[in-house]
Amino acid sequence: MIRAGSMEKDQFSRVLHQGRGRAILYARDHDVSEFRDVILDACLHCRALDPQGEGTRAVYTLGLLDTLPDRQFYCGEVLKALPACEDDWDALELFHFAACLACDGDERAKRAMYESFKPGPRHGESIAIDFVRMDGLRGLLFAIEKISALVAAGGVDVDLGYLISQSFEICGEQETLDALRAAGRENPQIEAYRLAAGAERQRWAAQDAERDRINALSYEQLRRELPVLKRSRLWAWGKHAGEDELGRAAQGLISAQDPADQMAHLRIFGLRRFPLDPRILLQLAASDQTQVAATATKALSHIEHSSLRELALRLVRDRLAGRRDAIQLLGVNFEPGDHGMVLD
C-alpha cells in the first residue's frame, strides 16, 4: 500500500466534505489509517454544503468505507450514535446510513433504527421515509405512531404530508390510505395525524392551484393583482411568461412611479432577463429606496452590459443596498483578476 503522506489530512478532509470521487479513489489506492478521525467525522455528521439540495452523504460515505479494511468499525460507531440523535441534519445522515445497512441485510442496523427513532418536528418525517423504504407500510405505521405523539402534544409546528406523499410512491396511494384508516380506527393519535396530514396536503394542492392560476394570467390581468402578490408568485409569473407578456411587464415598470409599484414590477424580473433597455434598472438601482435598489440590482444580475461592472464595484465600495447581488453582476460581466475582489 502507498502511505497516506502523498495527500495531507486537510486535503483529504476537504475533498471528502465536498463529496468528490477523488476521496474514494484515493482511499482505494492508499493507506488512509492516519485519516481515521476525518473519516469517522464524515460518518457521524452531515458535511454536505447544502443538505437541503444535496441530501445526506450516507451512500457516498458507504462507498468510501467499502474500500477500507476496517469498515465494520465505522458502521458500528454509526449505530452507537443513533440513540443520541437530535432533530438535525446529522440525524438524517446517521439514520440513512443505518437504513442502507439494513436494506443490505444488516439486522443489527434495522433493530438500532427502530429502537432509536425519536422524531423531532423538523426532520422526523424525512427520517421516517427510510422506515418506509426499508419495511413498507409496517415502517410507515411505526414512524407515524411516533410522530403522531408530537401532533397530539401540540405546541410545536410539525412538518406534515411529505412522508405520506413518499409512501404513495413507494407503497401505492390506495394502499397507504387504507393502512392509515385501518390504523386510525385503533389508534386515536394516528387518526389525528392522518387528518392533520390530509389537511396539509389539501393546503399544498390549493397553493399549487393558485400558482397555476397566476402563471396563466396575462400581464393586464396580473397588474390588477400586483399589490397583493408575494415575491415568489411574481418571480414564477416572470419565469413562465411569454416574450410578449414579458415585454408588456417591462413597459409597465418604465411607467411605474410609486415605489411599491416599481418593486412589484421589478420582482417579475427576479428570474428572467429584462427585455428592454436596462437604463431603467440602472436608475432604480441608484434609488434612495433601499428595497427598490436591491431588487433592481437583482434584476440587473441577468444582464451583460459594460456599465454593470462599475455598478458592482460601487455597490461593494460604498456598501450600498444591493451589494449582495454585486457578485452576480460580476458573474455575467467578469474580467480577469476579479476573483481577488470577489474573495474579499
pLDDT at 325: 66
What is the distance between the alpha carbons of residues 70 and 68, in angstroms, rounded to a whole number?
5
- DSSP states along 150-216: HHHH-SS----SHHHHHHHHHH-HHHHHHHHHHHHHH-HHHHHHHHHHHHHHHHHHHHHHHHHHHHT
2 pairs with which residues across the strands?
30
- Grid coordinates representing 133? 423504504
- Grid coordinates representing 62? 458507504
pLDDT at 324: 67
Q: List b or e across 61-81, with b for residues whose CB sees 16 or more CB atoms inside 10 angstroms.
A: bbebbebbeeeeebbeebbeb
Residue whose entry in the numeric block shows the C-alpha cell 474500500 = 67
pLDDT at 182: 96
What is the distance between the alpha carbons of residues 135 and 125, in angstroms, rounded to a whole number?
15
pLDDT at 92: 96
pLDDT at 177: 94
What is the distance between the alpha carbons of residues 206 and 49, in angstroms, rounded to a whole number?
33
pLDDT at 3: 44
- Grid coordinates representing 50? 447544502
pLDDT at 252: 97
pLDDT at 99: 97
pLDDT at 316: 72
Full pLDDT tens readout for the chain, 344 residues:
444 447 899 999 999 999 999 999 999 999 999 999 999 999 999 998 888 888 889 999 999 999 999 999 999 999 999 999 999 999 999 999 999 999 999 999 999 999 999 999 889 999 999 999 999 999 999 999 999 888 777 656 777 788 999 999 999 999 999 999 999 999 998 998 899 888 888 888 999 999 999 999 999 999 999 989 999 999 999 999 999 999 999 999 999 999 999 999 999 999 999 999 888 998 898 788 888 988 988 898 888 776 677 777 777 777 766 666 666 776 666 667 666 666 66
* Farthest-apart Cα atoms in the chain, separation: 72
pLDDT at 298: 85
